[in-house]
Amino acid sequence: MNEKEFASYLDSWIEPKRDEIVDCLLRLLRIPSVGTEAVDGKPFGEEVDKALRFVTQEAERFGMKTKNVDGYAVHAEIGSGEEMAMTLTHVDIVPIGSGWTKDALGEVSEGYVYGRGAQDNKGPTVACLYALRALKESGVPLKRRVRHVVGGNEESGFRCVRHYFEV
With cut-offs at 50, 70 and 90, classify the pLDDT of residue 28: very high
47, 49, 154, 155: which is the annotated catalytic residue?
154
Count the domains in the chain.
1
Residue 19 is predicted with a pLDDT of 98
Going by C-beta distance under 8 Å and a sequence separation of 6 or more, which residues neighbour residue 17?
Answer: 130
Question: What does the alpha-carbon distance between residue 158 and residue 163 come to, in Å, rounded to a whole number?
Answer: 9
With cut-offs at 50, 70 and 90, classify the pLDDT of residue 165: very high
pLDDT tens digits, 52-78: 999 999 999 999 999 999 999 999 999
Q: Is 154 a catalytic residue?
A: yes
Domain with 157 in it: 3-166
* 153: preceding bond cis by omega (within 30 degrees): no
49, 92, 103, 155: which is the annotated catalytic residue?
92
With cut-offs at 50, 70 and 90, classify the pLDDT of residue 13: very high
Q: Considering the chain, what is the average pLDDT of its residues?
A: 97
| CA neighbor of 133 nearest in space, from 32, 60, 80 | 60
Q: Is 92 a catalytic residue?
A: yes
Q: At 108, which CATH number?
A: 3.40.630.10
